[in-house]
Homo-oligomer: A and B are copies of this chain.
């Protein structure tokens, strides 16, 4: 894993990065299966040969994208756990992070939260079994143990605490919500916190 990155990264990153950017945009706009390698080629203005030089298949391109995004999300959650101690502050920071990410890089969050990866990355675990989601469940489980949240099944508590924001993000991405997402932070966070205390 880390080794693969080492052998790939010393190469010229321009085309690789450009391809990733373009693919993310097209995958989220039209979906993985509606996006052909030719579409990516055209939009990125590079050749098919170059793309296949950096990625051995369309699937591995999607996988690189996915791992990159999951990794960034994981890092963000880890930082939040270091910076904040109480369950309240941690969950609040995660909520804010999600809203800001959805506003600033909607494609990233759409690919992470709304795409059905299993359909084009059959070897991948479901997203909710990935590391960052585990960390979030840990935050909640710890909160229940410490008595900072009320006694609930941890999965139910997590769904309740973050289901609202995630749903709100879905609605925004589908065009059902006006205005900017972070504007709703106070409202949605207040609801979420009230639901588990």
Contact = CB atoms under 8 A, between A and B. Distances in A.
Interface of A: 30-31, 33-34, 114-116, 118-119, 126-129, 152-153, 155-157, 159-160, 162-168, 170-171, 174-177, 184, 187-188, 191-192, 194-196
Contacts of A187: 152-153, 156
A176 B128 contact: yes
Contact of A126 (B115, B116, B127, B174): B174
Contact of A128 (B156, B174, B192): B174
A34 B195 CA distance: 39
Contact of A167 (B153, B162, B176, B177): B162
A194 B127 CA distance: 28
A26 to B, nearest CB: 12
A156 B177 CA distance: 9
Contacts of A153: 184, 187
Nearest to A187: B156
Contacts of A33: 33, 119
Q: Report, nearest first, the 8 A-B pairs whose CB atoms are least far apart.
A: A163-B167, A163-B163, A195-B195, A31-B119, A160-B191, A33-B33, A163-B164, A126-B174
